Structure 1
Amino acid sequence: MFDIALDPIGWGVVLGGALAAGFTTGFAGFGAALVAAGFWFFALPAAMVPPLVVVAAVAGHTVGFFSVRAAFEWRRAAPYLGGGVLGIPLGVYALTVASPSSLRLSVGIFLVAYAAWQLAGAGRATIGAWGGRAADAFIGLAGGFLGGFSGLSGPAPVIWLQLRGGPSVAQRAVYQPFNFIILTLAGIGMAAGGLIGADVALIGAAIVPTTLLGAWIGVRTYAGVSEAAFRRVVLCLLFASGVAIVIRSVAG
């Protein structure tokens, strides 16, 4: 489907993105798409990035899920999952009609906006139980759409659960399983839509071991490092990656 020939530097960028995505997923419970996209849009055709992000994210969440499985509650997660399942086909369809350039630019803008929003401290605001389970389902729908469109299933529920408040482990016990399930279904949808060809599968097979290694390291690091400090470093990286992607997209 794609005419690609990666040199050693290109492979280094691809595998570096996989390692960083896995580490972030294992440590923070989200962020594979945000981190990987910052690397992969520089080395791969834009249309290849969403399905590869899904492959890497599912691999990373397979490891990360075990760190929060004891706190997982089906009842709390159900509205997010229900909305997410409905949003996936909408996102997959949008991906089939979006141009690579607009996709790259939209991801770059999202990276900048999301990172700036968090770095500015807006994430400290709380809304409690406002909107109830219906609002949770809508956020799940948004996450499912973004997951099907670009593998970005995490930011919507992560931001929303931060606004809800409560212990971080309880928040992670909702959004990490959500990401795992939604991205698995998104990958199936992308495969059914013909977006995962032999070339994507080949690179996907190459990145999975590196992603699993990164996720394992991330999970091991999670217990011993300040989550707030590491999260700020990741947000700075996301912001810089987003700015670079936007500049490249605008420059053509």
Structure 2
Amino acid sequence: MQIETVIYVLLGGLAGGFVNGLAGMGTSLFALGFFLVVLDPVSAVALTALLAVLAGVQGLWISRAVLSSDPRRWLRFTLPGILGVPLGLMLLDWVDPAVLRRIIAAVLVLYGGYFGLRRSLPRLEGQYRWVDRALGFVGGILGGFASLSGVLPTIWLSMRAWPRAETRAVLQSYNFSILLFTVAGLALRGAYEAQVWVAFAVVLPAGVLAAQAGIFAFRRITDAQFQRLLVLLCLCLGLGMLARELLAG
């Protein structure tokens, strides 16, 4: 492996691992751009999914007490999300994913830009269990269709009046579960060739250390700061998606 490839793989591992440890999501946003510089698109996506699962295992471990205390909360998102993934894969033959990505990117920019500039953020106090299930299901469809499983749950949870530990635990478990299915699907397609495993061996220590650094930072911010962090991540995700679509076009 060339030194340039090693450098970009390490940078992607550090960026993606840190934000996953901090927020429980966002690995693709911060890692994929680095990986695409030196790897083909399929290998880059396959490596990103492995990195997200690696960081997600660590995040799930620190969230285990929250997850076990109220399993119904995260299962309301995760189980419908898993059911939605196959439907998303079926839609690939009917709808252009690029069009949907641009629409969602615009929504993220508008949402993140509007609330990111406001002093006070929305704080919904109700239960909204059916909304949780519906958004988890639609997120699963978007995950199978356009690799955007975490977008709607992140927007929704950034408005819920939950402690940051619960919000992060739900996002972490949800994204981890969807990504496991993504890794399985990529494996069935033969995406995990030798170069991906070599790159993963390089990214492994960087991803582990960066995720731990993100977890360390998460433990030192307040609930309000975490809520604003999710809003700003939505803005960054939208801008990143728009930039990627414009460059691809």
**TM-score bracket, shorter-length normalisation:** 0.7 to 0.9
Does 1:174 find its partner at 2:173?
no
Distance 2:76 2:232 in 1: 31
Aligned partner (choices 122, 136, 144) of residue 132 of structure 2? 136
Gaps of 5+ in 1: 1-5
- What corresponds to 1:79 in structure 2? 76
Secondary structure at the counterpart of residue 220 of structure 2 = coil
Aligned partner (choices 13, 21, 29) of residue 16 of structure 2? 21
Secondary structure at the counterpart of residue 124 of structure 1 = coil
Aligned partner (choices 30, 33, 39) of residue 35 of structure 1? 30
Secondary structure at the counterpart of residue 166 of structure 1 = coil
Q: Match of 2:115, as an amino acid?
A: G
- What corresponds to 2:121 in structure 1? 124
- What corresponds to 1:218 in structure 2? 214
Gaps of 5+ in 2: none
For residues 117-157 of structure 1, the C-alpha deviation after alignment (integer angstroms, 9 at most, x for no partner) is 22320793355447x43332221122223333454432221
For residues 186-216 of structure 1, the C-alpha deviation after alignment (integer angstroms, 9 at most, x for no partner) is 2123212434334333333332322111101
Q: How does 1:46-125 map to 2 (within 5 A)?
A: 46-72=41-67, 73-92=70-89, 110=104, 113-121=107-115, 124-125=121-122
Distance 1:212 1:202, change over 3 A: same
Distance 1:75 1:230 in 2: 25
Aligned partner (choices 6, 15, 30) of residue 11 of structure 1? 6
What is the aligned-residue identity percentage?
29
Distance 2:232 2:130 in 1: 33
How many residue pairs get aligned? The number is: 241
Distance 1:146 1:41, change over 3 A: farther
Query: Segments of 4+ in structure 1 off by > 6 A?
Result: 102-106
Contact 2:97–2:145 at 8 Å: present in 1 too? no
- What corresponds to 1:159 in structure 2? 155
Distance 1:151 1:239, change over 3 A: closer
- What corresponds to 1:3 in structure 2? none
Deviation at 1:174, TM superposition (A): 1.4
Distance 1:142 1:235, change over 3 A: closer
Distance 1:26 1:197, change over 3 A: same
Distance 1:94 1:207 in 2: 33
Distance 1:195 1:91 in 2: 19
Secondary structure at the counterpart of residue 23 of structure 1 = helix
Contact 1:50–1:150 at 8 Å: present in 2 too? no
Say what the alpha-carbon RMSD is for the aligned residues. 3.3
Deviation at 1:92, TM superposition (A): 4.4
Distance 1:236 1:52, change over 3 A: same
With structure 2 as the length reference, what TM-score do the two structures score?
0.78
Secondary structure at the counterpart of residue 224 of structure 1 = coil
With structure 1 as the length reference, what TM-score do the two structures score?
0.77
Distance 1:113 1:171 in 2: 21
Q: Match of 2:49, as an amino acid?
A: V
Contact 2:153–2:171 at 8 Å: present in 1 too? yes
